[in-house]
Amino acid sequence: MAIRPILEAPDPRLRVKSVPVDTVDDDLRALIADMFETMYDAPGIGLAAVQIGVPKRVLVIDLQEQEGEDGERIREPRVFINPELSDPAEDKSVYNEGCLSVPDQYADVERPVAIQARWLDEDGVQHDERIEGMLATCLQHEMDHLEGVLFIDHLSKLKRDMVLKKLEKARKLRRAA
């Protein structure tokens, strides 16, 4: 397992549409292990393979919503290979989203509160499930990455430009330090 560098906007590789996975094998499972290690280290709750420069239709999510008795977040890692979303709920929710590829920037994004999802897990087992709540929001956010879309693309041009300016300013400050 290895922590891999996360691409940051406006890197053009984040705009590449990811290709389907043909085979679920040990190489893919090694990529998934690297993705989890990278996501946890960042720290984040979701990561698409394209964010580490691998344009394959793979994403990992761990909401870590509950805490154990020791105060540590309980890990519940989920893997989505070749995910497909359908049947979005008419009801929407707004969540203040962030992204590891747009570090330290957040904005309200409206998405359906529930979606139907089909995917393969790391063992190649197919799943078909109605997903709602925070997991639905996160899955839709990560699915956008597989299509070359960032959460800031859901914002007005003015807000998107402001976020990108703040990101560039933070990048310059990091380089100067």
Looking at residue 173, its pLDDT comes to: 86
- Which of 41-50, 59-68, 122-131 is least confident? 59-68
Kindly name the residue from 69, 142, 147, 168 that is annotated as catalytic.
Answer: 142
**Does the pTM of the predicted model rise above 0.95?**
no
Look at residue 3 and tell me if it is in a domain: no
Look at residue 4 and tell me if it is in a domain: no
| pLDDT tens-digit map of 75-117 | 899 999 999 999 999 999 999 999 999 999 999 999 999 999 9
Whether 65 has a pLDDT exceeding 90, the answer reads no
* Residue 67 known to be catalytic: no
| pLDDT tens-digit map of 4-21 | 999 999 999 999 999 999
Confidence band, pLDDT 50/70/90 cuts, at residue 66: confident
> Which residue range is the domain that position 45 belongs to?
12-176
Mean pLDDT of the chain: 95
Whether 170 has a pLDDT exceeding 90, the answer reads no
Look at residue 113 and tell me if it is in a domain: yes
How do 126-132 and 114-120 pair as beta strands? antiparallel
CATH number for 66: 3.90.45.10
Look at residue 6 and tell me if it is in a domain: no
Number of domains in the chain: 1
Looking at residue 39, its pLDDT comes to: 97
